[in-house]
Structure 1
Amino acid sequence: MINTLRRNIKKQDSVVSQLLYRIVKFAKYGQLPPLTILYKFVYLCYKLMGIAFHRCMNLFIYLPMLQSQLTQYAKGLQLENGMPLIAGPVSISIGNNACLNGAMSIHGHPDNEQCQLVIGDDCYIGWQTGITVGTKVIIGNNVMIAGRTMISGHSGHGVSIDERDNPKMADLVIEDNVWLCTNCHIVRPVHIGKGSVIAAGCIVTKDVPENVLFGGNPGKVIRYLNT
């Protein structure tokens, strides 16, 4: 019956079928006439409502929940896009005026009940960044970490079968004024010196000196930066 009706509408051999065809076509493909002024106002209201909603969620839900997981109250803490994922045994300290993206994760290694993450003042941690703590991860002041960065405070699983159940864990330190660009991977506990820039896509497998541009796979010093 439905197929018969559809065939009759497609034929458009009567006034009724022509009308039904136009109605169906408009329902599927149609648009309203240009109402630019009206919908600029509607769009503005939509944006303001979104801002107000997300601000209320931050103020009354996400920020209090995150503060409850910290060792001390973080003044001026900001969150983007919700609440970060926190998993495993990890103690978290965040300095003043830090900003974290909610689409990030913090993991404490289950083999260590005393994992510590320390984030300094004026830091920014971007979208889809993951921080895995082996023993301690220390992030200094004014550190910028772009999106999709992986920071691992342990070396993961060894190549040898006998080593796979015993990851090597140690402290990982990122000093002040460091910039980790998009999609960096710090794959083992290292020490990154003050003022250095880790280029996008870099795989960091060793310590980084102060004030250098460090990039590549595996990462190496590209040049020294003017201070």
Structure 2
Amino acid sequence: MKRTICLIIYYGLARFLPKSNYPYLGKYAKYFRYILCKNIFEYCGENVNIQRMAFFGSGKKIRIGDFSGLGINCRIHDNTIIGENVLMGPNCYMMANTHLFDSINIPMRNQGRKKLQDQVIFEDDIWIGRDVMIIGSKKIKTGSILGARCVLTKNFPEYSIIGGNPGKLIRNRK
């Protein structure tokens, strides 16, 4: 019941409050969203920053570690694990479904959908740039950087710098 009330307050009010670094009111908005999400998520660590307009469905099975955050206007799904010290830029999106298109005799909009996502895992110390799209189940490894507007379609090793559409290894940080 407490979780449901927190969800209603989050989606009805808190997500519309100013961004966290907004003068004067920002720190209060950040704290208010944090308290709500501690009661919504399966686990919510210390000093977590849930930015304005973040969408996370029902919040079930979401785990977010210390000093991590959800960027402005991001969209994540249930069953997402975010480690510690994860930076997320604005407008990041996890795509969980796609349209079917196998038959050329039926319009694509009438062919239904296919579920892509089982789980997305962000390990520790990751920087996710602005407008990144993650397609399906992925494990983003420790120390990786996903460049702005990257479309992540596969997994990469630790300490990777990934960019482009589709995402390609630019270099390793080690």
- Same fold by TM-score greater than 0.5: yes
Query: Does residue 206 in structure 1 map to residue 154 in structure 2?
Result: yes
Letter in 2 for 1:218: P
2:57 is the alignment partner of 1:101? no
- Alignment partner, residue 121 of structure 1: 66
Give SS of 2:98's match: coil
User: Structure 1 residues 126, 190: CA separation in 2 closer, same or farther (over 3 Å shift)?
Assistant: same
Equivalenced residues, count: 146
Q: In structure 2, do the counterparts of structure 1 residues 214 and 115 end up closer, same or farther at CA, with 3 Å as the change threshold? A: same
Larger relative contact order (CA 8 Å, sep ≥ 6): 2
TM-score of the pair, normalised by structure 2: 0.71
Q: CA deviation at 1:69?
A: 2.1
Tell me the secondary structure at the aligned position of residue 107 of structure 1: coil
Change (3 A) 1:96 1:208: same
TM-score in terms of structure 1 length: 0.56
Cα distance 1:118–1:163, how it changes in 2: closer, same or farther (>3 A)? farther
Distance in 2, Cα, partners of 1:211 & 1:200: 16
Q: Which structure: larger Rg? A: 1
Q: What secondary structure is seen at the aligned counterpart in 2 of 1:67?
A: helix
**Counterpart check, 1:148 vs 2:91:** yes
SS for the counterpart of 1:105 is coil
Residue of 104, 126, 134 corresponding to 1:178: 126
Q: Tell me, which stretches of 5 or more residues in structure 2 are unaligned? A: 1-22, 103-107
Q: Over aligned residues, Cα RMSD in angstroms?
A: 2.6
Q: 1:87 maps to what in 2? A: none
For 1:222 and 1:194, the matched residues in 2 are separated by 16
Higher helix share: 1
Runs of 5+ in structure 1 lacking a partner? 1-49, 71-91, 109-113
Give structure 1 regions of 4+ aligned residues with deviation exceeding 6 angstroms: none
Q: Does 1:137 align with 2:80?
A: yes
% identity of equivalent residues = 23
Could you tell me which amino acid in structure 2 is paired with residue 224 of structure 1?
A: N
- From 189, 192, 203, the counterpart of 2:137: 189
Q: Does 1:159 align with 2:85?
A: no
CA contact (8 A) 1:155 1:189 kept: no
Match of 1:66, SS state, is helix
Q: Distance in 2 between the 1:56 and 1:104 partners?
A: 16
